Structure 1
Amino acid sequence: MFSLNNYSGLVFCLLYFVLICLLRAEPLAKVSQGLVQGTILKSRNGRNISGFIGIPYGQPPIRKLRFSSPLPAKKWDGIHLANKDGIMCPQPIEGTVIGNEDCLVLNVFTTRMKFNISTTESANLDYYGPLYLMDQDIVLVTINYRLGLLGFLSTGDSVAPGNFGLKDQVLALKWVQKNIQVFGGDKNRVTLFGESAGGASVTYHALSNSSRGLFHQYIIHSGNALVPWGYRDRSLFKKDVNYIARHIRCPTNKSQDLIDCFRKTDFHKLVNLTTYNVLDFPEILWIPTNEVESEDSFLTDSPQNLINKNKIRDYPFISGTVFDEGLYVTCPFYANSTSQTKLNVLGRCVNGTSNRFFKPEDLSNFNKAIQSYYFNGSVSSMNEVKLLKMFTKFAGDSQFIFPNWILLEKMAKIAKSPIYSYLFDYHGQTSYAEIDYDIKNNIGVNHADELLYIFSGVYSPLASRNDNYIIDLMVDLWTSFAINGKPSSEHLAIIDLWEPYQRSKSFLQIGNISNNTDPSVTLRQDYFTDRMNFWKENFPLLKL
């Protein structure tokens, strides 16, 4: 800040400011709230990117706005600096709560803004960097939204109906509709893209009236609204909300009193009581739910009912999984564990999964069928190698692969828009098994491994010829779909190899199913056929 006593000083400071701006050539944009100043990045192949990192789209969800629907960010005076990464919504990581509640921000990356380049800077985009995707002519927007208890707590009534994280996403999509043309984007050509919980979120937007008109096609990776960890009825939240209340000494008789108390509690205490262990994956507590009817509700019925009633919007979409999704659960055992630990956690995983597929009185039938099909009727008699292999298949099939397949089967019968399916089975120089657990040997293609070839970051130090080919291919396919609704790539022998799923139930196999270090790409039809038939016949999720 400057304290100026005369106009000559003011002119000097203004001239100095202009010179600095011209020297640094930082991009400037005017959005609905005011001016934002970004930074300049270089794409993987050297394109200049205007990066606007940390633009507020919602007011901080604190005090009365905690456990409430988000409100649009207020206007600001002057220039908002949008050039540094690092804002995260609160979440527990290895026993420590990281992030801050003032986190409703989004990032915009574009190559369509004109400015004079004299120098470049780099932002700290550790996880989902834009440097691969921005080699193509798209505008990329990534968003933060409330997570866990802060994003999905529900009192089962109108006091705190839940789905706040999904409502954050809706607000961000509305911001895109209002502002994206400033960055060279087309508000009538918006493609949603999410992986895992993000994939489930994307499907919810295809079901919710709140998102109508805000996007036009979508891509879902390894997760949709049918996954057993993706939905809980609002009646099931009470015991978990009361558990939190007892530990922080909040009243539980009336929802309003309880939420008023929660709003006064430091968020670290709340989040600390919801520590998540990957081995409890099927029983995630703070997730989307059905709300009571209101003008503000995002979802008022289960996704299963809505999809069965053909309420999902008929938009073009891509949906797929990786080959070894279940490694998300079993990686810790490949890293270090005893046989008894494996047996105990397997039981927890099976029971937790069954709770989401069946009513309590039917759980024994679920357990018997799973034991028979995957474990030859006896887990204890299996050797460790076989046990882990089948444990991985069970976890992957139940948590990701079957929900993906059953939605594709349903949509193939009712959708007029083209839908595309893929299976990713390429293992490159690194994987999340190595990153998260330091597992050096190739145990398979883990949950989220495909993101290493779409988003740049410190967790994707890829350099081999095969890795670079997969990056080029994935970026081509995903961005061509976003641009014109048809995934294609000049890196394929047949540019338009990937055909719609409705045509012949075909999916794009990325990586060789017999050798996952081979980056070959084929069109196939056998998507775990025997395993999918087992689930469809024994535990149907949808009416086909």
Structure 2
Amino acid sequence: MNPALHDIVHALEWIQSEIHVFGGNKNKITVMGHSGGAAITDYLSISSYAQKLFHQSVMMSRSGGNVVNIVPDRNQGASRRLANRVGCTSMGLKDEGWDNVETVEGILSCLRNKSALELSAQQPLGEPEGLFFGGPALDYGEYALLPSIYPVLDKQRRNMPVLTGTVSKEWWDSRDTVINALEVDQNKLRYWCNRSIKTRGYNASESTVLMCMNEYNTTSKSIYLWDDISIYVPEIELANSIAAQSDAVYLYQFEYEDFGDAYFAGVGLPQPPKEAFPGHAYELIYLIGQHLGNFTAKDYQIKYLYSQIFVDFINHGTPATKNRKWDRYNPKDKNYFVIDFPDPTLESPGMKNDYHKEAYEFWHKIVPNYAGERHIPLSEEDSKTIINGIKELEDPELQKYESYTTVIPEVNSPYMKNVNWELMFWIAVGLAILLTIALCCIFVFAQRKRRTYETL
């Protein structure tokens, strides 16, 4: 069970026994992950067996924070289908023969003789049937890593410093809802509301879907719909849970947008449009050099300033320094540190309150009033019901959209975030005054010329 997690735990055990050889401190181990890696870091943090092997953690843009629970039969259906399709068994998914240990051992022996290419080629073919290879499973025994469901393990975290946060634009998967500056595509908005409600584990009744559509029926909000339920709301849930059990949780949001040519998508791949920055993982160019493009002198300064946040946390258990005021997260205030690098000082704005509060209030208070109790799956069959419910929404015509949609910005949209509207207003007023003066001058000149002709 959970071989990947056991590999990581084995690595942590090795670090515990050998880190002193490299000058390290076995009592000051930090586990750090981004996206799926952040989800793995979270699993390690709720495992009573694994959490004793490290002392603080960093979780960046954690994915998978919704109803995908830890269940005992995780990946069972997908594994059985795979064995059948590559010729290692003729049994169906629910055949009683799967309960025979000798039969299963024979199937496993057959699978070990198959190439990685043959096995991996079958994986996407089962996904339309709702047979995914998902996350870790609930396990048992002396070396069990995840012996209970997530809501139970989530309340058994170790008291340790945690640094966690997101970028300000993440996925933008629901960007296809935007038609122009003021208009939202109602069909696509319905799709994303329906999908989001089901992904959160609620009943997608017509009244709930309409209520969601009303909430997100502006371009500045609809573009963030999927980000809200897949990243931002789960991030607050994570921070709240950790804060209830830890003395030191630090939340941030990376908001720097002016990447220029510093980010390189890859050979033959289209560059993201300027308005999409900072998207999911884009900020890693300043931390680990992923998708590294052409750095300017400013980019090198940002690289130092940004990476120093993590260096300080790893060394001291807090990102706060004498020159960087960073308060611990308080669930009541939802306070977080804004990471940005404005000219000329490159000094981040610092602490703010109400991290994605509006989205959190909507999905935590308003939606449950309409949709009722949230369903937490206790088996893969439950998860399959949710997944198939989402897959039923897949309308090929509805989902035909380009990788990046060209959007005409509205005043309140993220595209126009840095426009100085007060300055623009006074410029417009000034132009109007100049135009009025010009018209008056023309009128006076015309009147004088007319009088000249009248005196002839």
Question: Scaled by the length of structure 1, what TM-score is found?
Answer: 0.56
Counterparts in 2 of 1:204 and 1:366: CA distance versus 1, 3 Å? farther
Structure 1 residue 275: deviation in Å?
4.0
Q: Is the 8 A contact 1:431 1:449 kept in 2?
A: no
Q: State the alpha-carbon separation in 2 of the partners of residues 365 and 314 from structure 1.
A: 42
Q: 1:315 aligns with which of 160, 163, 166?
A: 160
Match of 2:355 in 1: 527
Q: 1:498 aligns with which of 309, 319, 326?
A: 326
Match of 1:484 in 2: 316
Structure 1 residue 273: deviation in Å?
2.1
Q: State the alpha-carbon separation in 1 of the partners of residues 75 and 159 from structure 2.
A: 32
Which runs of structure 2 are paired with 1:344-423 in the superposition (5 Å)?
347=191, 353-358=196-201, 367-375=209-217, 386=219, 390-412=221-243, 414-423=244-253
Q: State the alpha-carbon separation in 1 of the partners of residues 348 and 51 from structure 2.
A: 38
Counterparts in 2 of 1:521 and 1:465: CA distance versus 1, 3 Å? farther
Deviations 1:381-435 (A, max 9, x none): xxxxx3xx645411111111111111212333x2342110000111222476955
Structure 1 residue 441: deviation in Å?
2.9
Structure 1 residue 259: deviation in Å?
2.9
Q: State the alpha-carbon separation in 1 of the partners of residues 240 and 29 from structure 2.
A: 25
Q: Mean alpha-carbon deviation: is it higher for 217-226 or for 168-177?
A: 217-226
Matched, 1:326 2:171: yes
Counterparts in 2 of 1:421 and 1:330: CA distance versus 1, 3 Å? same
Counterparts in 2 of 1:294 and 1:497: CA distance versus 1, 3 Å? same
Helix, strand or coil: the match of 1:461? Answer: coil
Helix, strand or coil: the match of 2:81? Answer: helix
Q: State the alpha-carbon separation in 2 of the partners of residues 519 and 365 from structure 1.
A: 46
Q: State the alpha-carbon separation in 2 of the partners of residues 432 and 369 from structure 1.
A: 38
What letter corresponds to residue 467 of structure 1 in structure 2?
A: D
Q: State the alpha-carbon separation in 2 of the partners of residues 289 and 506 from structure 1.
A: 32
Q: State the alpha-carbon separation in 1 of the partners of residues 3 and 208 from structure 2.
A: 33
What letter corresponds to residue 521 of structure 1 in structure 2?
A: P
Matched, 1:469 2:287: no
What letter corresponds to residue 113 of structure 2 in structure 1?
A: K
What letter corresponds to residue 425 of structure 1 in structure 2?
A: E
Structure 1 residue 519: deviation in Å?
6.5
Deviations 1:91-121 (A, max 9, x none): xxxxxxxxxxxxxxxxxxxxxxxxxxxxxxx
Match of 1:454 in 2: 287
User: Larger relative contact order (C-alpha < 8 A, sep ≥ 6)?
Assistant: 2
Q: State the alpha-carbon separation in 1 of the partners of residues 121 and 82 from structure 2.
A: 10
Q: State the alpha-carbon separation in 1 of the partners of residues 80 and 351 from structure 2.
A: 51
Counterparts in 2 of 1:430 and 1:422: CA distance versus 1, 3 Å? farther
Counterparts in 2 of 1:173 and 1:236: CA distance versus 1, 3 Å? closer
Q: 2:338 aligns with which of 491, 500, 509?
A: 509
Counterparts in 2 of 1:342 and 1:250: CA distance versus 1, 3 Å? farther
Matched, 1:185 2:32: no
Aligned length: 347
| Structure with the bigger percentage of strand | 1
Helix, strand or coil: the match of 1:210? Answer: coil
Counterparts in 2 of 1:242 and 1:364: CA distance versus 1, 3 Å? farther
Q: 2:11 aligns with which of 163, 169, 172?
A: 172
Which runs of structure 2 are paired with 1:81-480 in the superposition (5 Å)?
161=1, 163-223=2-62, 226-228=65-67, 231=69, 233-235=71-73, 237-251=75-89, 252=91, 253-254=97-98, 255-275=104-124, 285-307=132-154, 310-327=155-172, 329=173, 347=191, 353-358=196-201, 367-375=209-217, 386=219, 390-412=221-243, 414-427=244-257, 428-430=259-261, 434-435=265-266, 437-457=270-290, 459-480=291-312
Q: State the alpha-carbon separation in 1 of the partners of residues 20 and 335 from structure 2.
A: 36
Counterparts in 2 of 1:332 and 1:363: CA distance versus 1, 3 Å? closer
Q: Which entry has the higher C-alpha Rg, 1 or 2?
A: 2
Q: State the alpha-carbon separation in 2 of the partners of residues 239 and 355 from structure 1.
A: 21
Structure 1 residue 344: deviation in Å?
6.9
Q: State the alpha-carbon separation in 2 of the partners of residues 342 and 444 from structure 1.
A: 26
Counterparts in 2 of 1:332 and 1:536: CA distance versus 1, 3 Å? closer
Helix, strand or coil: the match of 1:502? Answer: coil
Q: State the alpha-carbon separation in 1 of the partners of residues 281 and 142 from structure 2.
A: 36
Helix, strand or coil: the match of 2:323? Answer: coil
Q: State the alpha-carbon separation in 2 of the partners of residues 332 and 246 from structure 1.
A: 38
What letter corresponds to residue 322 of structure 1 in structure 2?
A: V
Counterparts in 2 of 1:367 and 1:259: CA distance versus 1, 3 Å? farther
- Percent identical among aligned pairs is 21
Helix, strand or coil: the match of 1:286? Answer: coil
| Structure with the bigger percentage of helix | 2
What letter corresponds to residue 214 of structure 2 in structure 1?
A: S
Q: Is the 8 A contact 2:63 2:230 kept in 1?
A: no
Structure 1 residue 368: deviation in Å?
4.1
Helix, strand or coil: the match of 1:442? Answer: helix
Helix, strand or coil: the match of 2:252? Answer: strand
Q: State the alpha-carbon separation in 2 of the partners of residues 520 and 424 from structure 1.
A: 10
Q: State the alpha-carbon separation in 1 of the partners of residues 19 and 186 from structure 2.
A: 49
Helix, strand or coil: the match of 2:306? Answer: helix
Helix, strand or coil: the match of 1:321? Answer: strand
Counterparts in 2 of 1:332 and 1:187: CA distance versus 1, 3 Å? farther
What letter corresponds to residue 152 of structure 2 in structure 1?
A: N
Deviations 1:352-385 (A, max 9, x none): 55444326x5566654443332237xxxxxxxxx
Helix, strand or coil: the match of 1:401? Answer: helix
Question: Scaled by the length of structure 2, what TM-score is found?
Answer: 0.66
